[in-house]
Amino acid sequence: MNVVKKFVFICLMTIVTGALAEEELEIVIDKGVENSLPIVILPFGWSQAQNLPPIDMTAIIANDLARSGRFAPMSEADMPQKPTQMHDINFKDWRLLGMENLVLGNIKQNSSGDFDIEFRLIDVYKGTQITGFHIPATHAQLRRTAHQISDIIFEKLTGIRGAFNTRIAYITVKRLEEKKRLYSLQIADADGYSPQVLLESSEPLMSPSWSPDGKSLAYVSFEKRSSAIYVQDILSGQRRRVASSPGINSAPAWSPDGSRLALTLSKSGDPEIYILHLSSNSLQQVTHNRAIDTEPSWSPDGNKLVFTSDRGGGPQVYELSLRGKQVKRLTFNGPYHARPRYSPDGKKIVMIHGEKKRYRIAILDLENSYLNVLTDSRLDESPSFSPNGSMIIYATTVYRGTELAAVAADGSVHQRLALQDGEVREPAWGPFPGK
């Protein structure tokens, strides 16, 4: 809360360049921090004078770094020179401007039509190269290559693994004619670009959850007029219904080893949490309480589940030790806490914190039990950590509908990911690639 007040309202900085295709998510950063690191991402050189470069590498990288809140990329208009080779850099000019780091690069097209991307990260004060890479890429891989470069820069300068080359899953809803809706499950790059539809339905879709290897999604579909849980392979579109018992079938959450799903079933008469072993289809009930028990999330070590229960009256967050079966209440500071998710290091839990008719995103520090409210809006939900734990994506409802937003895990930077058309909700940030 008080963190929010620390913001400098930098200006309404729209850093998406170029026209966006319909339905893509637009990223708007409307608040920033004072302590972000200045950095120069020079326009990349391009081998063909007669054609435009196939991609605006500079804009994608600058956008990524700015979104993290840790960097303040210089705008191109303010650059005193735009060298593409290290020996052309006038270090004195950049030092005078207080720029500590500089990125330059070149894009070349080879005879087979593919591309060769070269970039260097340079320490302006020492006048030396920190790191540099050649990355070959096909046309389709160019955006991903830009995100990989952002990841390298981020890790070199912050010591934290970058999570720009990752994906998000989310649900969109379009209103069609009178009372009809088109629900769709989509995935996109973490910056909202390259959305792909995985499933469309005339009935509600809910609760997408990534498998730890990033190859499958579990989700809830009402296509049969009641909830059921499906697991879908992202590449092939093949899917399997894994839960469709009487009552609700919902809240799937993948175990860290990928072998099990924690989920909520109400077949016993009230919502209880179960663990479904995916290879054997065997079910193990882990909560036994007449209250609502739902929204499980696994601790990164797989030993605990955190979940929402109203066994104490209103909804609060509880932790279940899977070995000893002890249940411990974690939240006390307010009448409403729900939808918990562990941070990737297991030390924090992000959740919905509801009080005084406002539902905001908060992080509970498990070491000192301090609850830090990160957002300042009215109707926030579905928080999801980036795999490096540095950011949280969530859904926020404003007068024009529900859209995605992100906040740095320390509450320092907010950004909005606005959809052009319809509603976007329930974002789930996918794992690191190739894990």
Partner 1 sequence: MTYKHVLIILMIALFSGCTTNTKDDSGSATVEDKGSASGSDTSGSGSDAGSTRTYGVGAEGDTSMTALDDPQSPLSVRIIYFDYDSSEIQSQFRDTIEAHSAFLIANPNVIVALEGHADERGSREYNLALGERRSQTVKRQMTLLGVPSSQIRATSYGEERPVSEEHDDFAWSQNRRVEIVY
For 63, the 3-state DSSP assignment is helix
Least distance to partner 1 from the beta carbon of 344, Å?
Answer: 21
Phi, psi of 88 (to 5 degrees): -90, -5
- Name the H helices within 180-274: none
Beta pairing class for 128-137 and 358-365: unpaired
Q: Between 160 and 398, whose beta carbon lies closer to partner 1?
A: 398
Q: Between 62 and 351, whose beta carbon lies closer to partner 1?
A: 351
Least distance to partner 1 from the beta carbon of 238, Å?
Answer: 4
Contacts of 120 (CB under 8 A, 6+ apart): 86, 103, 104, 105, 129, 131, 132
Would you list the DSSP string of 264-299?
EE-TTSS-EEEEEETTTTEEEE----SS-EEEEEE-
Q: Between 248 and 261, whose beta carbon lies closer to partner 1?
A: 248
Least distance to partner 1 from the beta carbon of 197, Å?
Answer: 5
Q: Between 68 and 423, whose beta carbon lies closer to partner 1?
A: 423
Query: Which amino acid, residue 379?
Result: L
Q: Between 71 and 183, whose beta carbon lies closer to partner 1?
A: 183
Distances (CA, A) of 46 to 90, 300, 317, 404, 414: 21, 43, 53, 34, 34
CA distance 150 to 324: 43
Least distance to partner 1 from the beta carbon of 194, Å?
Answer: 10
CA distance 210 to 219: 9
- Name the H helices within 181-291: none
Evaluate whether 171 touches 184 at the Cβ level (below 8 Å): yes
Q: What do you get for the CA distance between the two ends of the chain, in Å?
A: 35
Which H/E stretch holds residue 219?
Answer: strand 216-221
Q: Which residues bind partner 1 (CB under 8 A)?
A: 187, 196-204, 206-207, 221-227, 230, 232-241, 247-248, 250-251, 264, 266, 269-271, 292, 294-295, 308, 310, 314-315, 336, 338-339, 352, 354, 357, 359, 378-379, 381-382, 397, 399, 425-426
Q: Between 23 and 155, whose beta carbon lies closer to partner 1?
A: 23
Least distance to partner 1 from the beta carbon of 385, Å?
Answer: 16
Q: Between 158 and 201, whose beta carbon lies closer to partner 1?
A: 201
Least distance to partner 1 from the beta carbon of 259, Å?
Answer: 20
Least distance to partner 1 from the beta carbon of 76, Å?
Answer: 34
Structure tokens that stand for 141 in this block = 């891989």
Q: Between 36 and 287, whose beta carbon lies closer to partner 1?
A: 287
In angstroms, what is the C-alpha Rg of the chain?
A: 23
Q: Between 74 and 187, whose beta carbon lies closer to partner 1?
A: 187
Q: Between 122 and 231, whose beta carbon lies closer to partner 1?
A: 231
Structure tokens that stand for 74 in this block = 């210089």
CA distance 168 to 110: 32
Least distance to partner 1 from the beta carbon of 149, Å?
Answer: 24
Least distance to partner 1 from the beta carbon of 55, Å?
Answer: 21
Contacts of 115 (CB under 8 A, 6+ apart): 54, 107, 108, 109, 136, 137, 138, 139, 142, 145
